Amino acid sequence: MSGDDPQQSNSAGQVPANDAERSGFEPELGGFLRESEDGRSGFEPELGGVVRQKGVYVDEATCIGCQYCSHVARSTFYIEPDYGRSRVISQDSDSEDLIQEAIDTCPVDCIHWVNYAELAELEEERKYQVLKPVGFPVERQVTYRKKPRKVRKRNPS
């Protein structure tokens, strides 16, 4: 294989089919230069940890605002005050086990592990979603009710 071949295989001998399957550590992207003697690459999510190959994504349209995830993994999840839904604010603040525990506590399964390339696509799609606040009716007319009119009695004269 030549160094100019874009279809080089990774260390396992497999060729990534598309950019979504790439981790960014392939040899043709300089991944071999990131290896050090102590096993650290500089991309660790926690000090001394292993590089996380996936990110956390909250499907805000499905989220019911129960706040369980934000109570378990406080540095990763945040309840957005305007809509009452969970949002990921930091991908690398809590340990992977703690984030998995937060995912397991979600009653509607709206939190997912996704590939970082897929995460960027999902965030781009979410820009155009219209979200209503959790727990509120969609229309004002549903909550607004007119007072009944008083019926006047007519005098027979």
CATH number of the domain encompassing residue 97: 3.30.70.20
- Residue 141, pLDDT > 50, answer no
Note whether residue 156 is domain-resident.
Answer: no
Binning pLDDT at 50, 70 and 90, where does residue 134 land? confident
The burial of 77, by beta-carbon neighbours within 10 Å (0-12 exposed, 13-18 middle, 19 or more buried), is given as buried
Note whether residue 28 is domain-resident.
Answer: yes
> Which tokens in the block code for residue 30?
């300089």
Note whether residue 23 is domain-resident.
Answer: yes
pLDDT digits (tens, 9 = 90+) for 70-124: 999 999 999 988 888 999 999 888 988 999 999 999 999 999 999 888 888 888 8
Domain extent, residue 32, equals: 19-126
Q: What is the pTM of this model?
A: 0.54
Note whether residue 151 is domain-resident.
Answer: no
Note whether residue 76 is domain-resident.
Answer: yes
